[in-house]
Amino acid sequence: MTKEGIVETPYRFLGEVMDGEGARFSTRILGDLEGIFADADALAKMDKDTVAYKVASIEPVPQGTPGGLYMGITYLSPGKVGAEYFMTKGHFHSNRDTAEYYWCLKGEGMLILMDEERNVWAERMHPGTLHYIPGCVAHRVANVGGDTLVFAASWPSDAGHDYASIASEGFAKRLLEVNGEPKLV
Ligand code: PAN
Ligand code: ZN
């Protein structure tokens, strides 16, 4: 699309809200997260329609376009399945060596990272923390606080999401609440 002169700014990123031209919104309920939590019995007793997280994203170019950038905000509900905190599905990027920034706007979380040798580490998230996720590193976020965790992200438009390898192999460690504290186990 050709533009000329002063045009209307197409996107807004106001505190915890991202919106604008072609913004996309998606919701993951607990029922979408079967198989990612360790305690399947605990999950079976919970309401499948409980919202685990919502994502709003701005994708100005079609998925797969080289050189473009996306922005998103994730709203991750507080809660646990057994001893495991509510978390995002987690993924590698399909285009493995593409990186991403996450930054925390609200709440308390942990960014769980895993390289291709399955080494796992985690970074604490709280308002103001900025996280560089290098290429070839799988990423998932757990909400370790009592309120909604809100974080923003920016990733390349040709990154793509590979959920399948995490769905089948998982992360090599889980973030559990042990004696009231988050612990990688
Ligand atoms: C994020 C994630 C978002 C939801 O925008 O897609 O937090 O997590 P899952 O995609 O793992 O369900 C991102 O990492 N984009 O690349
Ligand atoms: Zn990503």
Report whether pLDDT(1) > 80: no
Question: Diameter of the chain by CA atoms?
Answer: 60
Q: Residue 33: its pLDDT value, please?
A: 96
Region for residue 10 given its phi and psi (left: phi exceeds 0; alpha: psi -120 to 50; beta: otherwise): alpha
- For atom 12 of ligand 1, the residue with the nearest CA is 89
Classify residue 173 by its DSSP letter.
Answer: S
Count of other CB atoms within 10 angstroms of residue 5: 4
Classify residue 172 by its DSSP letter.
Answer: S
Tokens standing for residue 181: 């504290």
Q: What is the mean pLDDT of residues 11-29?
A: 94
Quick one: which of 125, 56, 137, 142 has its CA closest to 97?
A: 137
Q: Residue 159: its pLDDT value, please?
A: 98
Tokens standing for residue 11: 């996107």
pLDDT digits (tens, 9 = 90+) for 130-143: 999 999 999 999 99
Q: Which atom of ligand 1 is nearest to the CA of 72?
A: 5
Token look-up 């985690």 returns: 122
Q: Residue 113: its pLDDT value, please?
A: 98
Q: Residue 90: its pLDDT value, please?
A: 98
pTM to 2 decimal places: 0.97
Quick one: which of 176, 144, 179 has its CA closest to 42?
A: 176
Q: Please report the DSSP string for 15-37 in residue order.
A: TTEEEETT-EEEEEEGGGGTTTS
Please report which ligand is nearest the Cα atom of 88. Answer: 1
State in Å: Cα 5 to ligand 2 middle: 35
Report whether pLDDT(117) > 90: yes
3-state secondary structure of 86: coil
Cβ of 88 less than 6 Å from ligand 1: yes
Tokens standing for residue 85: 């905190």
Please report which ligand is nearest the Cα atom of 141. Answer: 1
Please report which ligand is nearest the Cα atom of 163. Answer: 1
Q: Which atom of ligand 1 is nearest to the CA of 90?
A: 11
Q: Which atom of ligand 1 is nearest to the CA of 74?
A: 7
Report whether pLDDT(151) > 90: yes
State in Å: Cα 57 to ligand 1 middle: 10
Find out whether 78 and 106 touch, Cβ atoms under 8 Å. no
- For atom 4 of ligand 1, the residue with the nearest CA is 88
Q: What is the mean pLDDT of residues 79-101?
A: 98
State the Cα angle at 34 between 33 and 35, rounded to 5°.
110
